[in-house]
């Protein structure tokens, strides 16, 4: 059994490396002057994406709720080399703000080449105790606003041969304890944008969709939740951000970051009971 497992893991690794080596190469200059909207860009991975796009000389619109923080991020983007860095405060839990943000970006940038949907609303890291209202609200922020913004930007992306970049999570492919509301919203994203990718391809659309599956990343909000609870390694937000940007720029349908999240994802279907055991034992919990 152990030998079989080793052979399977080796085969998966070889297949993974083969895919990596044949991936299209990234042309940094393709991002110079690119018109980009990044959501959830006041902090965390979104903030790091704003800085990375800035270094490539892109024209950026950033959004989140805290206007004063957005202003500081936009100023830093300009100092790093962004051709433009504009911001608009918006609450993605509102019915109208998602469209307002797209309209702002289309007007200020004259169109969009990249729509990077990244924001998430805060959600507790705890056993689910029946708070249905929280899930309803989180779905609005983490899922419905993504759908609404993608639809509103689609014509412009079609004209520019642009890309939709969706920041998702390993928890959108593999359920895990303590994050039932969050996991639900990420599964919804994977389902919706996976289906939309098929439909755009069948319609011979110019728009690419990249869904990015991330493992644990060292942002303040994530580390505050898991500190002392798990020993799962956290990866740097700046590197995650760069990998997401490259995935969008090279129009790849999927990113798994760090790389082993791909193998973890496959293992849940191939070895379900071992995977469940590992997941449940990777958290400190006593009832």
Ligand X SMILES: NC(=O)c1ccc[n+]([C@@H]2O[C@H](COP(=O)([O-])OP(=O)(O)OC[C@H]3O[C@@H](n4cnc5c(N)ncnc54)[C@H](OP(=O)(O)O)[C@@H]3O)[C@@H](O)[C@H]2O)c1
Tokens, residue 151: 């639809």
Q: With contacts defined by CB under 6 A, name the span among 29-37, 128-136, 214-222, 248-256 that binds ligand X.
A: 214-222
Render the burial of 85-120: b for 16+ CB within 10 Å, e for the rest.
Answer: bbbbbbbbbeeebbbebbebbbeebeebbbbbbbbb
DSSP SS3 for 211: strand
For ligand X, the closer CB: 121 or 181: 121
Q: With contacts defined by CB under 6 A, name the span among 125-133, 147-155, 194-202, 217-225 that binds ligand X.
A: 217-225
DSSP SS3 for 213: strand
Binding residue for ligand X, selected from 59, 148, 156, 169, defined by CB under 6 A: 169
For ligand X, the closer CB: 222 or 249: 222
Smallest gap from residue 264 Cβ to ligand X (A): 12
Smallest gap from residue 51 Cβ to ligand X (A): 13
Binding residue for ligand X, selected from 77, 86, 114, 121, defined by CB under 6 A: 121
Given a contact cutoff of 8 angstroms between Cβ atoms, the answer to whether 87 and 74 are in contact is yes
Cα–Cα distance between 31 and 53 in angstroms, integer?
7
DSSP state of 43: S
Cα–Cα distance between 215 and 60 in angstroms, integer?
26
For ligand X, the closer CB: 160 or 267: 267
Smallest gap from residue 243 Cβ to ligand X (A): 12
Binding residue for ligand X, selected from 52, 59, 118, 156, defined by CB under 6 A: 118
What mask of x and - would describe binding to ligand X in positions 32 to 61, judged by CB under 6 A?
--------xxxxxxx---------------
**Which residue's entry shows tokens 């919990």?**
285
Q: Which of residues 93-112 bind ligand X (CB under 6 A)?
A: 93
Cα–Cα distance between 153 and 12 in angstroms, integer?
37
For ligand X, the closer CB: 154 or 222: 222
Binding residue for ligand X, selected from 77, 115, 157, 216, defined by CB under 6 A: 216
The closest alpha carbon to 141, from 178, 190, 102, 95, belongs to 95
DSSP SS3 for 237: helix
Binding residue for ligand X, selected from 64, 88, 149, 165, defined by CB under 6 A: 64
CB atoms closer than 10 angstroms to residue 262: 23
Catalytic: which of 51, 87, 114, 182? 182
Helix pair 237-249, 44-55: axis angle to 10 deg:
60
Binding residue for ligand X, selected from 119, 152, 173, 197, defined by CB under 6 A: 119
Smallest gap from residue 84 Cβ to ligand X (A): 20
Smallest gap from residue 145 Cβ to ligand X (A): 7
Q: Is 51 a catalytic residue?
A: no
The closest alpha carbon to 72, from 42, 36, 106, belongs to 42
Positions touching ligand X (CB under 6 A) are 40-46, 64-66, 69, 90-93, 118-121, 141, 167, 169, 214, 216-217, 219, 221-222
Annotated active-site positions, please?
182
């Amino acid at each position: 059994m152990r030998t079989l497992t080793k052979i399977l893991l080796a085969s998966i690794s070889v297949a993974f490396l083969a895919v990596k080596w044949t991936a299209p190469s990234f042309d940094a200059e393709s991002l110079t002057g690119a018109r980009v909207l990044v959501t959830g860009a006041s902090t965390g991975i979104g903030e790091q994406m704003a800085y990375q796009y800035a270094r490539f000389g892109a024209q950026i619109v950033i959004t989140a709720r805290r206007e004063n923080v957005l202003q500081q991020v936009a100023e830093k983007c300009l100092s790093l080399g962004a051709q433009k860095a504009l911001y608009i405060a918006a609450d993605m839990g509102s019915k109208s703000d998602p469209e307002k943000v797209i309209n702002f970006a289309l007007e200020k940038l004259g169109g969009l080449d990249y729509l990077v949907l990244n924001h998430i609303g805060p959600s507790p890291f705890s056993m689910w105790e029946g708070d249905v209202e929280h899930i309803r609200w989180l779905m609005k922020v983490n899922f419905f606003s993504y759908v609404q913004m993608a639809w509103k930007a689609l014509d412009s992306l079609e004209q520019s041969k642009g890309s939709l970049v969706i920041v998702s999570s390993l928890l959108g492919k593999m359920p895990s304890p303590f994050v039932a509301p969050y996991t639900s919203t990420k599964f919804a994203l994977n389902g919706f944008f996976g289906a939309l990718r098929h439909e755009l391809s069948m319609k011979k659309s110019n728009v690419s969709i990249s869904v990015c599956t991330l493992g644990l990343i060292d942002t303040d909000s994530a580390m505050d939740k898991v500190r002392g609870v798990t020993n799962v390694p956290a990866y740097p937000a700046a590197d995650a951000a760069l990998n997401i940007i490259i995935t969008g720029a090279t129009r790849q349908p999927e990113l798994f970051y760090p790389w082993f999240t791909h193998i973890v994802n496959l293992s849940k279907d191939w070895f379900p009971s071992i995977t469940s055991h590992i997941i449940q034992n990777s958290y400190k919990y006593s009832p």
